[in-house]
């Protein structure tokens, strides 16, 4: 398991790497990769951080778990590799983008292009066993990703935090709404998308906020 994390994130999260929970988590994750099929591939566990350095972050989208089907997960929440069929939540995200700002559905569900523009696509749990949703929850990842969100919220200003569904909303409950824009709605899953995800206009609201604060808008 050759895991590397981008230098600016490494510096900001250094205290976490030295905590007991992270040592335990590391042992658990190594053991899982040695025994089972785990997603994403080991080198992509910290992909969200590696594509989006600390000072480049403008927007944070919080997901829950990596996709657990073959070839889907590559370390960015809601995103799939090129050539992989769009999961239902991603289909609905693209529908809302089209409705909100008119951008046509792209040919790929790979959201690397968002990450490179400053969108941190962060799952709460960064690994999962194949075909076993939630299998790596409550082993320490949540504490680590909480720390990443907290350090961003404390040390940066005028970020946009996008919280879809009750899980993400709980994870972002502590955020200072006076310092950052916090956008909440139902989850894009087909089970809940019609209960407030569609029509949330989060993509145009994000860009309006970035523009007001002198930042380049995201090309969704």
Asked if 65 contacts 123 with a C-beta cutoff of 8 angstroms, the reply is: yes
Find the Cα–Cα–Cα–Cα dihedral 207, 210, 215, 218, rounded to 10°.
-30
Cα dihedral angle (167, 102, 198, 74), rounded to 10 degrees? -30
What is the Cα 19 distance to its own chain's centre? 23
Query: Tokens at residue 38, please?
Result: 């785990």
- Identify any residues that bridge with 39 across adjacent strands, giving them in sequence order: 128
Buried b (16+ CB within 10 A) or exposed e, 132-143: eeebbeebbbbe
Listing DSSP states for 101-153 in one string gives: H-PPPPS---THHHHTTTEEEEESS--EETTBTTTTTTSSHHHHHHHHHHHHH
Beta bridge partners of 38: 129
Residue written as token pair 């566990």: 45
Could you give the CA distance from residue 65 to residue 73 in angstroms, rounded to a whole number? 10
Confirm whether 82 is a catalytic residue. Answer: no
Choosing from 55, 65, 146, 176, the catalytic residue is 65
Residues marked active site are found at 65
């Amino acid at each position: 398991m050759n895991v590397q994390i981008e230098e600016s994130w490494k510096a900001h999260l250094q205290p976490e790497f030295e905590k007991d929970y992270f040592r335990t988590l590391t042992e658990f994750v190594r053991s899982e990769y040695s025994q089972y099929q785990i997603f994403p591939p080991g080198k992509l566990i910290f992909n969200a951080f590696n594509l989006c350095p600390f000072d480049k972050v403008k927007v944070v989208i919080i997901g829950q778990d990596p996709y657990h089907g073959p070839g889907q997960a590559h370390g960015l929440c809601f995103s799939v590799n090129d050539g992989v069929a769009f999961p239902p939540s991603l289909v609905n995200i693209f529908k809302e983008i089209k409705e909100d700002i008119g951008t046509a559905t792209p040919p790929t569900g790979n959201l690397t292009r968002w990450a490179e523009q400053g969108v941190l696509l962060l799952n709460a749990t960064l690994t999962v066993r194949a075909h076993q949703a939630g299998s790596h929850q409550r082993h320490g990842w949540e504490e680590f990703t909480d720390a990443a969100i907290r350090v961003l919220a404390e040390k940066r200003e005028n970020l946009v935090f996008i919280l879809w569904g009750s899980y993400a909303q709980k994870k972002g409950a502590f955020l200072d709404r006076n310092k950052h824009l916090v956008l909440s709605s139902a989850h894009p899953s087909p089970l809940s998308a019609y209960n407030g995800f569609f029509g949330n206009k989060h993509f145009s609201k994000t860009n309006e906020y970035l523009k007001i604060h002198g930042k380049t808008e995201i090309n969704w």
